[in-house]
Structure 1
Amino acid sequence: MSATIHEVIDERFRDLIIGSAQLEQIYTGCRWAEGPVWFKDGDYLLWSDIPNHRMMRYQPDGTVSVYRANSNFSNGNTRDRQGRLVSCEHGSRRVTRTEYDGTITVLADRFEGKRLNSPNDVVVHSNGGVWFTDPTYGILTDYEGFQAEPEQATRNVYRLDPDSGHLTAVATDFLQPNGLAFSPDENRLYVADSGSSHKLDHPRMIRVFDVVDGKTLANGRTFCTLDSGIPDGMRVDVHGNLWTSGGPAVHCYAPDGTLLGRINVPEGVANLTFGGPRGNRLFITATTSVYAIYLAVSGAQKP
């Protein structure tokens, strides 16, 4: 069974996986599971079930409960450097932060006076800057949000300044920007372009940018092109390897863009995150279910 789970393409992949580790389905019953984020201090996983308009919580004893009903069709989630939940909401077309007392603060909902499309995924830099993608998936239909015409001329990657609250479009040439992740040293930003979901001849690519002074991007280029599936959510491990969703698999790429291997999953994968007490358990949101598997490597950002 492990041979079908772990697909080794480059021998370096063997150092990242545990051959005897099994892929566990820890929950099923979603319509489109997305946005997993691990809370080490609370010992639980949160994720979004977008069409069901809710966020779910998993605890290691197997308990699963609704964390937030009426989630505004939340999608991607992360934690800021103070441990607060930061979420992208399709329904309200905004990025929010959940404060320690449970109240919700709106971080961004407009750019240059016009509504955002439908914020999709989000990461926070060590300097506090909030970076997020803004494709149109949440306004294409009423399934994952509310159907509407886009007000933005382009589908951008944004940075929200933590001090001024100023929102800057740091990349404007994507067809559909999606998952994003910083390299361990934060000198690189990886961004998935999932435009092939609706334009079949569009490259299934992940791009990489140099991060300048922690605030702007330069030297955008293709990092890799998936030979199957569409790139979506992603995370980076402590060695700088990029783990990304794409079809019914998690794909692992070395920092030089070489495909090292895959973890095959029974359903289409949307997103993933590292978690568990040691950060070496990979949680995978895949269509109707959430899966987990132990690895021989931990995530770069401590949960």
Structure 2
Amino acid sequence: MPAPSLTDLVPDPTALETLDTGSTWAEGPCWIPATRTLRWSDIPGDRVLQWSAADGAVTEYATGVEFTNGRTLDRDGSVVQCSHGLRRVERDRDGTVTPVTTSWGAVRFNSPNDVVVTRDGSVWFTDPAYGITQPREGHPGAREYGDHWVFRCGPDGEDLRPVVLDVDEPNGLAFSPDERVLYVASSDRARPVIRAYDVVTDGDAAPGLPGVRVKNGRDLVRFAPGEGVPDGIRVDEGGRLWSSSAVGVFVHTADGTRIGTVPVPEVVANLCFGGDDGRTLFVTATTSVHRIRTTTRDAARR
């Protein structure tokens, strides 16, 4: 069956609508179905903003948030998010924020960046160093384990382990619809790529939590000069990969073939699907947040 065209997926790629502007660096969008709101981070502004579908109002959800970045919806409707400033992954349940995991053994993480919760409740997150190396995005600090990895743990931080060790600057991550393939964006400017890994389950884990490892890592999408670097990524219900870039949102098939580009006037940081039917694509791009209608939705929609 031939791959769809871009207009099969985005009927009007020029119909981008701006919902808000005024962030310093907008990141970490997440659609909250229970409140019909889009939540995102203004990382250097050290605040979380929220747009309401009910009336189009944008409000400050929280301030002084220790430079939160990526977030995702948990199975119970709460939000799991990454904190640059506290160097941890945390859970926001109705405004009460508690840690999920803060360190690997005796060493702290660098600055957790983006996060995904899989169907079994496990939490997967990337750990580049932006929050300890970029003055506007956290607090100065050291790479205590000396690298940048992707980690996985149980819903409450149990069975924490590194799972991907070969990505230079792991940033966005997403799973195929069957969760058998993990995609990881590397924002290394010298070699910007999206890599794919096969996910293998075995019995080596804490009771009740299946052991998981990844193997067969390979470059799936390579960014060309002028395209910037991949940051946030999403996979839709058809297994297609939607990626941030310097020029817009790239759409690729599961084998890495580019379907097309949704142009965006600023550098795209991240994106997510949402709206009442899940078919609106929300895009955080530098100072602004946009939306555009699609014919598909997130592979992980619950």
Check whether the contact 1:194–1:231 (CA below 8 A) recurs between aligned residues: yes
Q: Which residue of 1 aligns with 2:131?
A: 138
Distance 2:99 2:12 in 1: 44
Alignment of 1:47-196 (within 5 A): 47-60=40-53, 61-100=55-94, 102-162=95-155, 165-196=158-189
Match of 1:302 in 2: 301
After TM superposition, list the pairs within 5 Å mapping 1:261-300 onto structure 2: 261-300=260-299
Equivalent residue, structure 2, for 1:207: 195
Equivalent-residue separation in structure 2 for 1:272 and 1:160 (angstroms): 24
1:161 Cα deviation (Å)?
A: 2.1
State the alpha-carbon separation in 1 of the partners of residues 301 and 159 from structure 2.
Answer: 27
How many residue pairs match? The answer is: 288
Alignment equivalent of 2:219, drawn from 213, 219, 222: 222
How far off is 1:167 after superposition? Answer: 1.0
Cα distance between partner residues in 1 of 2:80 and 2:4: 37
Contact 2:89 2:99 in 1 (8 A): yes
Shift of 1:162: 3.0
Q: Secondary structure of 1:257's match?
A: coil
Letter in 1 for 2:264: V
The question of whether the paired residues in 2 share the 8 Å contact of 1:154 and 1:173 is answered with: no
Displacement after TM superposition at 1:20 (Å): 7.3
- Deviations 1:260-291 (CA, angstroms, capped at 9, x unpaired): 00011010000000010111100000000001
Percent pairwise identity? 45
Q: Please give the TM-score of this superposition, normalised by the length of structure 2.
A: 0.92
Output one character per residue of 1:123-147: Cα deviation in whole Å (capped at 9) or x when no partner: 0010111000000011103210011
**Residue type at the aligned position of 1:81:** R
Equivalence for 1:4: none
1:236 aligns with 2:235: yes
Change (3 A) 1:20 1:88: closer
Helix, strand or coil for the counterpart of 1:270? Answer: strand
Which residue number in structure 1 is paired with residue 207 of structure 2?
Answer: none
Structure 2 Cα separation of the partners of residues 185 and 279 of structure 1:
18
Q: Where does the alignment leave 5 or more consecutive residues of structure 2 unmatched?
A: 202-209
After TM superposition, give the deviation of residue 233 of structure 1 in Å.
0.1
The 2-side partners of 1:295 and 1:11 are apart by 13
Matched position secondary structure for 1:88 = strand
1:166 CA drift (Å): 2.1
Offset at residue 11 of structure 1 (A): 5.9
Q: In 2, Cα distance between the equivalents of 1:17 and 1:239? A: 14
Unaligned segments of structure 1, at least 5 residues: 1-9, 197-201
1:88-133 CA-to-partner distances (Å, cap 9, x unmatched) read: 0001110001124x32221111112101000000000101110000
Is the Cα contact below 8 Å between 1:21 and 1:294 reproduced in 2? Answer: no
Residues 232 and 270, structure 1, Cα contact 8 Å, conserved in 2: yes
* Contact 2:128 2:170 survives alignment (8 Å): yes
Distance apart, 1:297 and its partner CA: 1.5
